[in-house]
Homo-oligomer: A and B are copies of this chain.
Amino acid sequence: MIGGGRGSFIGAVHRMAAALDGHIELVGGAFSSDPERSKLSGADLFLDPQRCYGTYQEMITTEAGLPENIRIELVSIVTPNHMHFGPAMMALDHGFHVVCDKPLCLTLDEAKQLAEKVKSSGLLFALTHNYTGYPMVKQAKQMVAHGELGHIRRVVVEYPQGWLSTALETTQQKQAAWRTDPSQSGVAGAMGDIGTHAENLIEYVTGLKIESLCADLHTHIPGRKLDDDGSVLLRFGNGARGVLCASQISAGEENNLRLRVYGEKGSLDWSQMEPNSLVARWLDKPMQVFRTGGIGLFREAEMHTRFPAGHPEGYLEAFANIYRNVAYCLQANLTNEKAHPAYFDCPTIEDGVRGMEFIEAVVKSGKDDSVKWIKF
């Protein structure tokens, strides 16, 4: 693991997600740019001090030199955005598979270089767009793919949070500090941090591509350098229209990602904060509610559920589905076993490139009040 030392949020999430199904074992890491801190973080995790490194370069070169049956196979990159590209390229160069947190990197150019490298290396690269790991998101995707909604006409995705409603970054709060710092976060604030999740969720579920967009981005907190609130009009290749909102100053909101997809025959409504229900409303029959572990689900939804219906699965289980599928993919590489294709469903480098395209387009639109539509 690269990053995820003491005080990190997402590092712990990756560790729990990887541990959940017992397929992946954490054996070492470069948990911090401060070697001492890295060792202490490793000790917290009962790891061999020998394998707790002071830099990712040291980790990758050292591990690459270990015997195959000992050395790591997979590197998880859980650092801030500006520290994704370097570690990812180097890990791939040394033959390690990669799981990387989102967004992919800082620029579309970096993203394309990474995509090239992944392609040429033949290694696995998974991006943790974890919200696509929810069973009811899989169900929604299948219902759309099977034409149950008919032609898609309208898509609404919103991702309001309230935690940046104050200048939290001025209080040494680590999560806020790097996310509002262009040198670590990139050109986008809320749009990069959560807007890309929203964009990925739309395209994952509907299979449609956003073709052009028109954004109004704003920074409400004086002195903040990146957008903290934005709304975007969307046009899709098939003629559908939509709206994407991503805000971190929506005071009182927790982590309220919600997707609604409207087709000719009916619509779907899913909320991350009550993730085990998928509401389907129809023109010609009563409203239905599909439930995690419940009845009438596609195999793709069933295969990403661990418990019987009514035993709520949450954020961590969805996140763990990404890691579990990574493990299945790696096993399949080794064994050529023929598992159900649904097991090989995890966000790819292409999703990462797409996210960077979105960030560049939405920031460009947000900065320019003279042009209405930006193609991308």
Bound form: Cα–Cα A218–B235 in Å: 11
> With A and B bound together, what is the CA distance between A213 and B93 in angstroms?
50
Task: Answer yes or no: A314 CB below 8 A from chain B CBs.
Answer: yes
Q: B residues within 8 A CB of A283?
A: 162, 165-166, 251-252, 295
Interface 1/0s, chain A 342-376, versus B by CB < 8 A?
00000000000000000000000000011111000
Which of A149, A296, A314 is most buried by chain B, counting CB atoms within 10 A of its CB?
A314
| Interchain CB contact under 8 A, B315 and A316 | no
- A230-283: which residues lie under 8 A (CB-CB) from chain B? 231, 233, 235, 241-243, 245, 247, 249-256, 260, 262-267, 272-276, 280-283
A42-81 interface code vs B (CB 8 A; 1 in, 0 out):
0001100000000000000000000000000000000000
Interface assignment of A156: CB less than 8 Å from any CB of chain B: yes
A187-236 interface with B by 8 A CB criterion: 214, 216, 218, 220, 229, 231, 233, 235
- Chain B residues whose CB sits within 8 angstroms of the CB of A253 once the complex forms: 262, 267, 281, 310
- Cβ distance A28 to chain B, nearest Cβ, rounded Å: 14
Across the interface, A307 reaches (CB within 8 A) one of B13, B264, B295, namely: B13
A251 to B144, CA, bound (A): 14
A145 interface residue (CB < 8 Å to B): no
Q: Is A290 an interface residue (CB 8 A)?
A: yes
A371 to B231, CA, bound (A): 17
List chain B residues, Cβ under 8 A from A247: 154, 262
In whole angstroms, what is the CA distance A290 to B287 when docked? 7
Q: Please name 8 further chain A to chain B contacts, defined as beta carbons within 8 Å, in addition to the given A153-B251, A273-B310, A311-B316, sorted by A numbering.
A: A162-B283, A216-B233, A247-B262, A250-B260, A252-B267, A254-B294, A255-B309, A273-B312
